[in-house]
Amino acid sequence: MVTGRSFRTALRMVERSALALGMAAALVVVAAIGSRWVAQGEARSYAAEATVVQADVREWHPNRVRAWRDALKRLGPAPLGTLRIKRLGVDVVVLAGTDDWTLNAAVGHIEGTPKPGDAGNIGLAGHRDGFFRPLKDIAVGDVIELAAGERLDRYRVTQTLIVAPSDVWVLNPTESPTLTLVTCYPFYFIGSAPKRFIVRAAREDITTTRLSTR
> Which has the closest alpha carbon to 61: 10, 122, 17, 117?
17
DSSP 77: P
- pTM, two decimals, is 0.77
Q: pLDDT (tens digit, 9 = 90+) per residue, 41-90? A: 444 344 334 334 457 888 999 999 999 999 989 888 999 999 999 999 99
C-beta separation of 197 from 209 below 8 A: no
Dihedral of CA 183/157/118/93: which sign? Answer: negative
36 phi and psi, to 5 degrees?
Answer: -75, -45
Q: Is the preceding peptide bond at 186 cis, omega within 30 degrees of 0?
A: yes
Q: pLDDT (tens digit, 9 = 90+) per residue, 105-138? A: 999 999 999 999 999 999 999 999 999 999 999 9
Pick among 2.40.260.10, 3.20.170.30, 1.10.1200.30, 3.40.50.360: CATH of 4-213: 2.40.260.10
Task: Please report, in angstroms and rounded to a whole number, the separation of the first and last CA atoms in the chain.
Answer: 35
Q: How many CA atoms lie within 13 A of 127 on its CB side?
A: 30
